[in-house]
A and B are shown apart, each in its own frame.
Chain A
Amino acid sequence: MASEKVKVFTDANFGEEVKNGIVLVDFWATWCAPCRRIAPIVDQLAEEYTGKLTVAKVDIDENPMTPSKFMVRGIPTLLLFKNGDLKETVVGLETKDRLAQLIDKHL
Chain B
Amino acid sequence: MSTASPSHRQQVVIIGSGPAGLTAALYTSRANLEPLLIEGIEAGGQLMLTTLVENYPGFRAGVMGPDLMGEMRAQAQHFGAAILQGDVTSVDLSKRPFTINVGQTVYTADTLIIATGASAKWLDLGVDRKLSGRGVSTCATCDGFFFKGLPVAVVGGGDTAMEEAIYLSKLATSVTVVHRRNSLRASKVMQDKAMSTPNISFLWNKEVIDIKDLDQGKVTSLVLRDTQTGAQSDLAVDGVFIGIGHTPNTALFKGQLAMHDNGYLKTHDGSRTSVPGVFAAGDVQDHVYRQAVTAAGSGCMAAIDAERFLSGTLHDTSHSIHPPPSTSSPS
**Residues of A in contact with B (beta carbons under 8 Å apart):** 29, 31-34, 37, 40, 60-61, 67, 71-75, 77, 89, 91-95, 97
Contacts and interface: CB of A to CB of B under 8 A. Distances in A.
A37 B42 CA distance: 7
Interface in B110-138: 132-135, 137
Interface in B15-68: 41-44, 48-49, 66
A42 B237 CA distance: 33
A74 B85 contact: no
A34 B139 contact: yes
Contacts of A67: 146
B87 A95 contact: yes
A92 B145 contact: no
B270 to A, nearest CB: 31
Q: In which size bucket is the chain B interface? A: 20 to 34
B42 A93 contact: yes
Contacts of A60: 145
Given A33-B66, A95-B41, A72 B48 contact: no
Given A34-B139, A37-B41, A73 B133 contact: yes
Contacts of B146: 67, 72-74
B288 to A, nearest CB: 26
Contact of B141 (A33, A91, A95): A33
Given A31-B141, A72-B146, 14 more contacts: A33-B44, A33-B48, A33-B141, A37-B48, A61-B145, A73-B143, A74-B133, A74-B143, A74-B146, A75-B145, A89-B133, A91-B133, A93-B42, A95-B41
A67 B141 CA distance: 17
Nearest to A27: B133
A34 B218 contact: no
Interface in B135-164: 135, 137, 139, 141-143, 145-147
Interface string B205-233: 00000000000011000000000000000
Given A33-B141, A73-B146, A93 B41 contact: yes
B103 interface: yes
Contacts of B133: 72-74, 77, 89, 91-92
Contact of B48 (A34, A77, A92): A34
Given A73-B218, A74-B143, A91 B132 contact: yes
Contact of B85 (A33, A40, A61, A89): A40
Nearest to B216: A71
A97 B103 contact: yes
Contacts of B44: 33, 37
Nearest to A37: B43
B299 interface: no
B134 A73 contact: yes
B152 to A, nearest CB: 11
Contact of B132 (A29, A92, A94): A92
A74 B217 CA distance: 13
A33 B132 contact: no
A29 B42 CA distance: 17
B239 interface: yes
A49 to B, nearest CB: 16
